[in-house]
Amino acid sequence: MARLYIGNLPHQAAEHELQAWIEQHGFKVETVQVIRDLDTGASRGFGFAELPEVIHAKEAVDALNGQKMEENDLRVSEARPLPVKGENRQAGGTRSPKKRVS
C-alpha cells in the first residue's frame, strides 16, 4: 500500500472529488482525507490518500505529481510515516486552548 501526500489542492475540493481525480488517473483508492482547519472547517489545501494496489509510492507519484486539478498543479509525494503517539504528539488529538489577547 502506498500513502501519498497531495498538496496545492483547490480549497473547495472535497474528499469525493480528490478520490475521483486519483481514480481518473487509473489508481484504486482505499481512503482519502482532505485536511481541514479545526476552527473554520475550511480546507487547508492538502490531503492524503492510500492506494492499496500500489506497492511502491514512486509509481503513483510519477503519474500524479504536477497534474492539474481544476487550475491547480498538484504536488504529490510519498507521505511521511505517522509518528507513534508519545513522540512529540499530544494524545487524543486535543489542542491547547487559544491564548486570550487582553
* Model confidence pLDDT, tens digit, residues 8-54: 999 999 999 999 999 999 999 999 999 999 999 999 999 999 999 98
Q: Could you tell me whether strands 68-69 and 75-78 are parallel, antiparallel, or unpaired per DSSP bridges?
A: unpaired
Domain boundaries, the chain: 2-80
Q: What is the pLDDT of residues 52-99, one digit of tens each?
A: 998 889 999 999 999 999 999 999 999 988 777 765 555 555 555 566
H or E segment at 43?
Answer: strand 43-51
What is the predicted pLDDT for the residue at 91? 52
Q: What is the pTM of this model?
A: 0.78
Does the domain made of 2-80 have the CATH classification 3.90.420.10? no
What is the predicted pLDDT for the residue at 28? 96
